[in-house]
Amino acid sequence: MSSKVILTCAVTGGDDTVPRFSAVPFKPVDIAEAAIAACEAGAAVAHIHVRDPRSGKPSMELDFYREVVDRIRESGSPVIINLTTGPGARFVPSATEANTAAAGSNLRTPAERVRHVLALRPEICSLDMGSVNFGKGALINVPEHIEAIAAVIHEAGVLPELEIFDTGHAALAVDMIKRGVIDANALFQIVLGVPWGAPATTETVAAMKSLLPQGALWAAFGIGRWEFPMVAQAFLLGGHVRVGLEDNVYLEKGVLAPDNASLVTKARGIVESLGGSLATPDEARSLLGLTTPKHLAA
Residue 21 lies in a domain: yes
Mean pLDDT calculated for residue range 70-87:
98
Mean pLDDT calculated for residue range 211-226:
96
Residue 19 lies in a domain: yes
pLDDT of 268: 98
Cα distance between residue 71 and residue 32, in whole Å: 6
Structural domain boundaries enclosing 105: 7-297
Residue 219 lies in a domain: yes
At 294, the pLDDT band (50, 70, 90 cuts) reads confident
pLDDT of 239: 97
Residue 2 lies in a domain: no
What rounded mean pLDDT belongs to the chain? 96
CATH number reported for the structural domain that contains residue 219 in this entry: 3.20.20.70
Residue 260 lies in a domain: yes
Q: Which of 29, 111, 21, 110 is nearest to 67 (CA)?
A: 29
Residue 186 lies in a domain: yes
- Cα angle, residue 172 at apex, residues 229 and 80 outer, rounded to 5°: 55
Instruction: Provide the domain count of the chain.
Output: 1
Residue 229 lies in a domain: yes
pLDDT of 94 higher than 60: yes
pLDDT per residue as tens digits for the range 101-136: 999 999 999 999 999 999 999 999 999 999 999 988
> CB within 8 A of 185, min separation 6: which ones?
159, 217, 288, 289
pLDDT of 298 higher than 70: no
Cα distance between residue 270 and residue 130, in whole Å: 31
Q: What number of other Cβ atoms are within 10 A of residue 95's Cβ?
A: 7
Contact between 238 and 276 (Cβ < 8 Å)? no
| DSSP, residue by residue, the chain | --SSB-EEEE-S-SSS-TTT-TTS--SHHHHHHHHHHHHHHT-SEEEE-EE-TTT--EE--HHHHHHHHHHHHHHT--PEEEE---TT-EE-B-SSSTT-B-TT-----HHHHHHHHHHH--SEEEEE-S-EEETTEEE---HHHHHHHHHHHHHHT-EEEEEE-SHHHHHHHHHHHHTTSS-TTPEEEEEE--TTSS-SSHHHHHHHHHTSPTT--EEEEE-GGGHHHHHHHHHHTT-EEEE-TTT--EEETTEE-SSHHHHHHHHHHHHHHTT--BPPHHHHHHHHTPPPPHHHH-
pLDDT of 2 higher than 80: no
Residue 1 lies in a domain: no
Mean pLDDT calculated for residue range 86-115:
96
pLDDT of 297: 82
